[in-house]
Structure 1
Amino acid sequence: MSELLPVAQAQARLIAAIAPVATETLPITQAGGRWAAEPLVARRTQPMRDLSAMDGYALRFADLPGPWRVIGESAAGRPFDGGIGAGEAVRIFTGAAIPDGADVVMVQEEAERDGERLILAGEGPLRIGGNVRRRGLDFTEGDVLVAAGDRLTAARLAVAATGGVSHAAVHRRVRVALAATGDELVDPGADFGADSLPESNRLLLRTLLADLPVDIIDLGILPDRLDVLTQAFATVDADLLVTTGGASVGDHDLVRPALLGAGATIDFWRVALRPGKPLMAGRRGDMPVLGLPGNPVSAFVTALLFVKPVIARLAGAAQPFPITTHAILGESLPANGPRTDYMRAELRDGRAYVAAIQDSSMLMTLARAQCLIVRPPHDPAAERGDSAEVLMIA
């Protein structure tokens, strides 16, 4: 029997063998959620000119405490045409260009105006450059706005658009084949008897992967027949094949021999985690293959830790793994065993409370959970109020 592989080692081995899929160029209006294949570089400086950060009056710091004569107005997109000299001021609005000669903005709440005459009615600006956004404060032409391997999030697309970028080289969508295996499985809503089980893993995975740039190839529910499984695995055309069920070593667990019969090689198939130990990873040609446990809770956890990172890497992610955070325990926990444990927990009043029953068959505990508490192998007992590593799931 093969030795259990630590989670981090299994993840590293899996990702090391994967290269991103081919690239395409898209308008940035269509590139949201993809990973950049090349850096996005600013084509302009932001801001292009010194701008006012407040509504008020542009003037010379040297002329404080005034008074001043107002000689014009500057608004966003409609700058003042000219410069200002000693004792002069220009009415200015947020985002408007600072007139030549001015080096500070006095906010309107500290100003009193009578016609063209302006006087200081407060403390006034404290330094040269007060309330001024200098040219290039955000970025300058030629700066890298989005690095290759970064995901094109809403904020990154916004900075790219502001930088004058119109198109982005991205990795194409990833084709993911999903197959559920088991004679006991029926489609949700179908007639079922006492020995049948509605199949939920394909729906679970589709929903879990919905935030990724994937196209799903649904292979449906495959029976526990070696010939049918082998044929399905040998002919599928995808960037990644994900199966659920049949990944253990029982007489009816046929995914492994079917993959071997389809020409695949198996890298590892037992990982030191709970739930999800019977996880299988291999390749058929250039296509990675992941065999998840049939238990939906185990399938969910292994999909978070392995399927999503593999897809992210195929899609070009420089950092494909989930990022954990920390939460305060609402109750004490016993020492952990030899496997990394991912414990379903609810968050209440800023604290994490572990579900009373952590058996992998308990799907309701997953449905109610907002996070997984990550317990390293042989982690000592933890007390209420201790900080714990968590992986957010809702």
Structure 2
Amino acid sequence: MTSEFPLIEPTWHIAHQTAHTVAAALHSRRVPVADGVGQVLATDVRSLIDLPYDTTSAMDGWAVGGSQGPWRVVDGAALAGHVSQVTLTPKDAVLIATGGVVPSGTFGVIRREFTEVFGDGADSFVRATHESEPFANSHVRPCGDEARRDEILVPAGTRLSPAHTALAAMAGHDTLEVRCAASCEILVLGDEVLRSGIPRSGQVRDAFEPQFAAYAALLGLEVSGFRFIPDTLEATTQALATSSARVVISTGGTAAGPKDFLHTALETVGAQMVIDSIAMRPGHPNLLARRGDQFFVGLPGNPLSASLGGMLTLVRPLACGLLGMELPELTSALTSTSIKAPAHDTRLVPVTSQNRSGTFFVTELPWLNSGMMRGLANADAVAVIPPGGVGEREVVEVLALAW
């Protein structure tokens, strides 16, 4: 297995960055704006209009032409969906609805509950009943107050929320350009893996099927298959050779044990190694390889090692790169107690975080053996502990979870 520059046991930071930069963004497609939620933007969403397009009223009430009343009521109510042809003088008032285009000459809008109408017919008048209104441009939404035409509203690389698609529609968009989904297949290697029921001696209950398909979907990958593969070189090679997914995630077989065949199988199918193990705990024997535009991510067989070393360190940044998204950002916090780490390896530690008067502190959780999941299940973030560990109240980098 060859590569121009295979990384043999890089640092965690280098592996995390490499998994992002090695992936070229996928092609894009155009979808109706209502189908954009959860998709990743391929191009900026710019406002096609001044938003709002007109100067409108923020209240039901009366548009008045001057600061001092009473004001004579004139015909030509300014209702939503209609443009009033009225031009107000300082002593005129016209009925206006929320969203109605403000007539020419308007000084401000008085909300309905702060007005009183008196007189009759052509001699009807409005007066203010509260001293706070009107004031200049009271309850008036200026044209372009939210955005100007061609202003960027949502940048490319953003995963779209319902609020994003609503904003895009308000700005005049019927469709959006989004990244194509990256297909993903997950292969669980190992004869000892039990999919259901109570495991017996020599067996382990599968921890990957219940989490990794959903995990991959959270990262924007489209899971096309989930296969359990026997512990043989032939079966492992066949599984890799027959997968057409853009990202193939496998669990187990990454080390150098008597039944670890992944390296040989990858070489057989013509994959080039990009990363071969990482100087980190847990999850040291992770790997990343590629064959053309197809990526293979080999995760260890232990659940916590696979979740932190593989999914968090390699799959997440790889998915971000394929979707044109930025590398997940590291933030910082203070440790509430000292946290140990090996002398030469970065340690990823599931933590809970607490805001104490504006400063975030993280606390290491128990149950962090590489075969355990209880610590991660109770965590709200992962601390990246440098080799040698840190003391109490030291600054550490923190990576948010994908859920």
**TM-score normalised to the size of structure 1?**
0.87
User: Which of 97, 106, 109 in structure 2 is aligned with 1:102?
Assistant: 106
Give me the whole-angstrom Cα distance separating, in 1, the residues matched to 2:40 and 2:239: 30
Matches within 5 A, 1:344-363: 344-346=350-352, 352-363=362-373
Alignment counterpart, residue 20 of structure 2, candidates 9, 15, 21: 15
Partner of 1:67: 70
Partner of 2:3: none
Q: Indicate the residue corresponding to 1:92 in structure 2.
A: 96
In structure 1, the partner of 2:145 is: 137
1:107 maps to a residue whose letter is R
Compute the displacement of 1:47 (Å): 1.1
Task: Trace 1:73-84 onto structure 2 (pairs within 5 A).
Answer: 73-84=77-88
Structure 2 equivalent of residue 42 of structure 1: 47
Once residues 281 and 372 of structure 1 are traced to their aligned partners in structure 2, the CA distance between those partners, rounded to angstroms, is: 21
Which SS does the other structure have where 1:36 is aligned? coil
In the superposition, relative to structure 1, how do residues 200 and 145 fare at CA in structure 2: closer, same or farther (>3 Å)? Answer: same
> 1:27-84 deviations in whole A, cap 9, x for unaligned?
2222322222233343333211101123332223xx3232222325333224444221
Aligned to 1:296: 303
The 3-state SS of whatever aligns with 2:217 is coil
Alignment of 1:1-394 (within 5 A): 4-60=9-65, 63-72=66-75, 73-115=77-119, 116-125=124-133, 128-189=136-197, 192-301=199-308, 302-314=310-322, 316-319=323-326, 321-325=327-331, 331-334=336-339, 336-337=341-342, 338-346=344-352, 352-378=362-388, 380-383=390-393, 389-393=397-401, 394=403
Report % sequence identity: 28
Post-superposition offset of 1:173: 1.9
Question: Larger RCO: Structure 1 or Structure 2 (Cα < 8 Å, ≥ 6 residues apart)?
Answer: 2
Q: 1:292 to 1:140 in 2, by over 3 A?
A: same
The answer to whether the 8 A contact 1:234-1:263 is kept is no
User: Is the contact made by 2:288 and 2:314 (CA closer than 8 Å) also made in structure 1?
Assistant: no
Q: Distance in 2 between matches of 1:233 and 1:340?
A: 30
Instruction: Work out the CA distance in 1 between the residues paired with 2:302 and 2:340.
Output: 25
> What letter corresponds to residue 193 of structure 2 in structure 1?
L
Deviations 1:352-391 (A, max 9, x none): 44223422222222222232233234453023xx775433
Question: Alignment partner of 2:40: what SS?
Answer: coil
1:35–1:293: structure 2 CA closer, same or farther, 3 Å change rule?
Answer: same
Report if the CA contact (8 A) 1:33-1:151 is conserved. Answer: yes
Return the alpha-carbon distance in structure 1 between the equivalents of residues 133 and 280 of structure 2.
Answer: 60
Shift of 1:348: 7.0
Distance 1:250 1:175 in 2: 30
CA drift of 1:261 comes to 1.5
Give 1:177's aligned amino acid.
E
RMSD of aligned alpha carbons: 2.7
Distance 2:346 2:395 in 1: 17
Moved over 6 A (4+): 348-351
**Superposed displacement of residue 181, structure 1:** 0.9
Contact 1:69 1:118 in 2 (8 A): yes
Shift of residue 298, structure 1, vs aligned partner = 1.6
Q: What secondary structure, in the 3-state scheme, does the structure 1 residue paired with 2:160 have?
A: coil
Q: Is the 8 A contact 1:106 1:124 kept in 2?
A: no
Q: Shift of residue 239 of structure 1?
A: 0.6
CA contact (8 A) 1:183 1:224 kept: yes
Amino acid at match of 2:368: Q
The aligned counterpart of 2:4 is: none
CA contact (8 A) 1:304 1:322 kept: no
| Counterpart residue identity of residue 103, structure 2 | P
Moved more, 250-259 or 106-115: 106-115
Say how many residue pairs are matched. 385
TM (norm. structure 2) is 0.85
Deviations along 1:311-370, one digit per CA (max 9) or x if unpaired, are 2322x3231x334455665x4124544433222234578764422342222222222223
Given that 2:339 and 2:391 are in contact with CA atoms closer than 8 Å, whether structure 1 keeps it comes out as: yes
**Is residue 367–residue 373 contact of structure 2 (8 Å, CA) maintained in 1?**
no
Quickly say closer, same or farther: Cα 1:51–1:387, change in 2 above 3 A.
Answer: farther
1:43–1:282 distance in 2 versus 1, CA, 3 Å? same
After superposition, give the CA deviation of every residue in 1:209-236 in whole Å (9 maximum; x if it has no partner).
2234433233512122112211221221
Question: 1 CA distance for matches of 2:70 and 2:253?
Answer: 84
